[in-house]
Amino acid sequence: MKLLITGCKGQLGRQLLKILQQGHSQLGELPAAYAGCEVAGIDLEDLDLSDLAAVKRTLEDCRPDVVINCAAYTKVDQCEIDQDAAYAANALAPRNLAMVCDGLGAKLVQVSTDYVFPGVGNVPYREYDRPGPVSVYGKTKLMGEEFVQRFCPRSFVVRTAWLYGDVGGNFVRAILKRAREEGKIRVVDDQRGNPTYAEDLAHHLLLIALTEEYAIYHCTGSGECSWYEFACAIVEEAGVPCEKEAITTAQLGRGANRPAYSSLEHMMLRLTVGDRMRPWREALRAFIASQEV
């Protein structure tokens, strides 16, 4: 089997490469099918995914059996300003991968986001709930989902949320840096969702990719919290004393709208490969214990 990971230098891409090299994650051994798997990774400097001709040349050359697309433009506020770039990365790129994968008979795993939902309720969203994004980021990611499902029947759309991983910048590292340097953290307490460790997500993506259970999936850390509660847990688990202040989204004054409630329910995951996503605080504790943060 040949596996291609796009966005291989991002948090999720690197986590996938790491556990594929190890043959296991913190959740356990990977399926035997990955033992002799030929794995390749590409990133922005290697290939412009919004260029259909270039995507076609690259995939026809390596002829993967499975593509996991971790590439995306995730700067939510910047997406409002540079909408062309957001659309190119989040909509055109997965469209191109879907069209080419379909021609090659390859499976495509498209990683998406909780931001496709409006966030106006208080009950976790199921896979069949109607999307309604409130930001350019969410709208372009939703278009990417729709393109993938339209052009590649052998595809999986996996929505996740509040992702952090072993490498690169993320909310966990940012909070710890601020706590240590400033002795105080100010974090919004009126947005709720699911913190997700890339280790757990990567493991489940690899399980899903081996199946023919083509569908939309939700895959996040188990349980929910606010960003403020998440931040408090981060400094507590790391043993970093600091002053904590809960603020509102309005006080923060960011440009892009964000869903106030975007918790995801794991129905499809539970009914297919099984839901072994750890409670978010347990996964956070494991992350901090395994890192120099």
Q: Where are the domains of the chain?
A: 2-170+195-222+263-277
In terms of CATH, what superfamily is 2-170+195-222+263-277? NAD(P)-binding Rossmann-like Domain (3.40.50.720)
The reported pLDDT for the residue numbered 253 is 76
C-alpha to C-alpha distance for 223 and 258, rounded to whole angstroms: 19
Q: Which of 34, 87, 115, 137 is the catalytic position?
A: 137
The reported pLDDT for the residue numbered 242 is 96
The reported pLDDT for the residue numbered 168 is 82
Bridge partners (DSSP) listed for residue 186: 245
pTM: 0.97
Residue numbers in the chain where pLDDT is lower than 50:
none
The reported pLDDT for the residue numbered 291 is 85
Respond yes or no: is residue 125 known to be catalytic: no
